[in-house]
Structure 1
Amino acid sequence: MPLIRLQGITKTYGEGTTAFQALKGVDLDIHAGDFVAIMGPSGSGKSTAMNTLGCLDRPTTGAYLFQGVRVESLTRDQRARLRRRYFGFVFQGFNLLARTSAQENVELPLIYRGEPAAARHAAAAKALEAVGLKGWEHHMPSELSGGQQQRVAIARAMVTEPAVLLADEPTGNLDTQRSREIMDLLWRLNVDHGITVLMVTHEADMASYARRIVRFVDGVIADDTPNPHPAGLDKPAAAPTPPSEAA
């Protein structure tokens, strides 16, 4: 059985003459260890699909199975627990707390879990080291480049050791070089840590890192194509940037 299965998923916003059907019967299987890029024009349904996959929104009809569990039947609190346990999120806007250090930002999901301070500190330091930010733990977001801030956001997403990392336009605010660094990092998390990566992107260059490219058009999946040669396939892990070389 796949890790995630969507069967006949629909999503309608509004009622009556103002109703808008964002998803129109989506079927999608995602297996553990997949790296899937979700693409499509504005209004195609890709963001609604991502919100559904991340348990941030419930479908109007259809079945969403995560490890065989019917997610759409869970209560709000049960879905929240599912998110905290199995999902990590990375957004285009970084969403870091401005007056909080990199380490403290990364620790936030563990605070919500009720982890003791010593365990939080150790896990956050390990996550920051994994994204190449060892030595940057006590820097504030204003002291970091855009690429470094996104690395902090990725460390925050992975500190809970999620099964699935959902990335919504993770390179949208970055220049070309920093975008490639972030994509190399997501690739290494997928390959080395076995994290399933689901990424929404408008950029074909970024989608080329994925093992599959799923294209949405008008609320349905128009194309689901394997990518036999992902861009990150033969790339070595990038060396961490030392603090003395801050951007």
Structure 2
Amino acid sequence: MAAADNDALIRFQQVTKRYGQGDAEFLALKGVDFSVSSGEFVSLMGPSGSGKSTVMNILGCLDVLTDGEYYFRGVPVSELDRNQRALLRRNHIGFVFQGFNLLARTSAQENVELPLVYRGLNKKERNRLSMAALDKVGLGNWAHHHPSELSGGQQQRVAIARALVTTPSILLADEPTGNLDTERSQEIMELMAELNREQNLTILMVTHEPDMAEYSHRIIHFVDGKVDREEQPQGRG
């Protein structure tokens, strides 16, 4: 596979995503160009239906583009087969969702261990790595609590620990504060900013909330399936 002449961690080049055919055809993305470098914290903003979630699904290898190219570390992802895309997703991409997506009947530690089970790690190594991830998000003392015993903010911290436990190249966060109150939202954003700053974790976040986007280095605004503009949050000058 030919590599792209670009040192970005991820890059979209004229990416189009089409759903349906004929009269039912809908263009979710219309020639999108943008890139994210290692260590950046970037927010995607825009109204519902603007293409943000479609971008995240393609980046996370949960969906495939129609035209254009998505490069991951210079490799054209469209040239990967399904199994290779699954390995890319499993080994290099961490996901954090609005709804936490924790298993209710398992402890915080067992939830964090889940990606390591898929990797086939033994129990001792899973325990070590999951506890280290929980310590990173300040929940080491809550490892044996179930989701029902945790606040919304704590549940999202567990979800972040689960995303971090595989040491991903990039964290994709889709409305990570959407189910939280203002105080818990600020706690989660401060944690993500700290992980970005101290662990050099690359983060791409979708959000509708301008005050949450202020934590990022750069904001990319989407309108009608296209990049409308980019801006640097106030205070980042």
* TM-score between both structures, scaled by the size of structure 1: 0.92
Distance in 1 (alpha carbons) for counterparts of 2:179 and 2:129: 27
Q: Determine which of 90, 95, 109 is the counterpart of 2:115.
A: 109
- Secondary structure, counterpart of 1:95 in structure 2: coil
Kindly indicate whether the alpha-carbon contact (under 8 Å) linking 2:39 and 2:200 is maintained by their aligned counterparts in 1.
yes
Q: Secondary structure at the match of 2:109?
A: helix
Residue 135 (structure 1) aligned to one of 141, 148, 154: 141
Q: Deviations over 1:37-71 (max 9, x none)?
A: 00000110011011111111110000111011110
Which residue identity lines up with residue 67 of structure 2 in the other structure? T
Structure 1 segments of 4+ aligned residues over 3 angstroms from their partners: none
| 1:58 correspondence with 2:47 | no
Out of 139, 144, 152, the residue aligned to residue 146 of structure 1 is: 152
Per the alignment, residue 180 of structure 1 pairs with 186
Deviations 1:186-217 (A, max 9, x none): 00111111110000000000000000000000
Unaligned stretches of 5+ residues in structure 1: 234-247
Q: CA deviation at 1:227?
A: 3.0
Quick check: 1:189 aligned with 2:202?
A: no
CA distance in 1, matches of 2:235, 2:140: 31
- In 2: Cα distance, 1:229 partner to 1:112 partner: 41
Q: Is the 8 A contact 1:211 1:228 kept in 2?
A: no
CA distance in 1, matches of 2:160, 2:78: 27
What SS does the corresponding residue of 1:135 show, helix, strand or coil? helix
Q: Name the Cα RMSD after superposition.
A: 1.1
2:102 pairs with 1:96: yes
Q: Which amino acid aligns with 1:207?
A: A
Looking at structure 2, the residues matched to 170 and 48 of structure 1 have their Cα atoms a distance apart, in angstroms, of 16
Counterpart in the other structure of 1:17? 23
C-alpha separation in 2, matches of 1:177 and 1:154: 17
How far apart are the structure 2 equivalents of 1:181 and 1:226?
A: 22
Deviation at 1:72, TM superposition (A): 1.4
SS at match of 2:88: helix
Partner of 1:6, secondary structure, is: strand
Are the structure 2 counterparts of residues 33 and 228 from structure 1 closer, same or farther at C-alpha, using a change threshold of 3 Å?
A: farther
- Give SS of 2:104's match: coil
Question: Is the Cα–Cα contact under 8 Å of residues 92 and 170 in structure 2 kept in the other structure?
Answer: yes
Question: Residue 46 of structure 1 corresponds to which residue in structure 2?
Answer: 52
Distance 1:29 1:156 in 2: 25
Deviation at 1:112, TM superposition (A): 0.5
- Corresponding residue for residue 83 of structure 2: 77
Deviation at 1:228, TM superposition (A): 6.1
CA contact (8 A) 1:131 1:154 kept: yes
Q: Aligned partner of 1:136: which letter?
A: W
Q: Distance in 1 between matches of 2:193 and 2:235?
A: 13
Give the percent of matched residue pairs that are identical in Structure 1 and Structure 2. Answer: 62
Which whole-Å deviations, capped at 9, do the CAs of 1:59-102 have from their partners, x for residues lacking one?
00001110111101211111010011110000000000000000
| Structure 2 counterparts to residues 196-235 of structure 1, below 5 A | 196-227=202-233, 229-230=235-236
Deviations 1:90-124 (A, max 9, x none): 00000000000000000000000111111100000
